[in-house]
Amino acid sequence: MNQKIQRIENDVQDRNSAAWKKLCEYVDKVAQEEREEFSPLEELGQELFSQIYTLPESISKLKKVKKVWLYGSNLKRIPPEIGQMESLEYFDPYTSYSLHWFPYEITRCKNLKDSRVSTRALYGNYRNRMGFPDLTNNPVHYSGESVHCSICDKLMSYEETNQVWISLTVGTDVLPLLANLCSTKCKDRLPKPPEGYIQFPHKGGSALKQLPDEDEMLELEMMQQDKEGDIPTESTTEDNKASGNEAPVLLKLIRKLWEK
């Protein structure tokens, strides 16, 4: 299990850079022209796009955008305003390896049915269970001195909010989401995570107990079968091959060796 805890970064973006200014201009143009796709790499070019580490809060104006293309970005975070992109259907930040989490507000994109995310880079993902940073004292700050409750939209100071992690299905992926909460009542309104993930909102940190990762699950399955005397021999493997029913654990082991 990978328990390495990443440090939370704030002020990740130079908002006076040429890259940021051009991105903001591009957002305005997409909104004004009511375009259905948002692809900053095409507009900025690789050199400027590589200097973008977050998106502007003005993405809230992209009411008509259905597809967001962020492939290969250096993004480190997405602002909560993505929740106001009411037409969003497809979200692709694939190979954005510094993007470890997302704002809870992305769940407000009710038309978002399809996504492509590099799951190995996500906090708490089933492949390596990357550790969640500790949210004690609400360390995540967006632009500005206040933040809205992720559930009821109440405006709060960062001292008032309660920040928690929760893993939920968004599009076609399970994403680690950061929620800013104003009360226990709003915390109780959070949905239940899918099976295979921590089943409650939490603060993260090194003491957090996560479920076994993919490799550990394989080892546990093999130990269990060994204990039960079910490890397939060469002869039983051949019989299973002939019947088209090979041992699933052996197949998993072969797959893992192949991947390495």
pLDDT for the residue 225: 75
- State the amino acid at position 138 in one-letter form: N
pLDDT for the residue 259: 47
- What does pTM read for this prediction? 0.84
DSSP string, 77-109: ---GGGGG-TT--EEE-TT-TT---EEGGGGG-
Beta strands in 209-260 (DSSP E): none
Q: How many degrees, rounded to 5, is the angle at CA 12 between CA 162 and CA 143?
A: 50
Compute the distance between CA of residue 39 and CA of residue 49 in angstroms, rounded to an integer. Answer: 10
* Whole-number percent of the chain with pLDDT over 90: 77
Task: Work out the mean pLDDT of the chain and round it to a whole number.
Answer: 89
Rounded to an integer, the average pLDDT of 237-259 is 50
Judged against a pLDDT cut of 90, whether residue 106 lies above it is answered with yes
Judged against a pLDDT cut of 50, whether residue 254 lies above it is answered with no
Judged against a pLDDT cut of 60, whether residue 246 lies above it is answered with no
Judged against a pLDDT cut of 70, whether residue 39 lies above it is answered with yes
Compute the distance between CA of residue 191 and CA of residue 185 in angstroms, rounded to an integer. Answer: 13
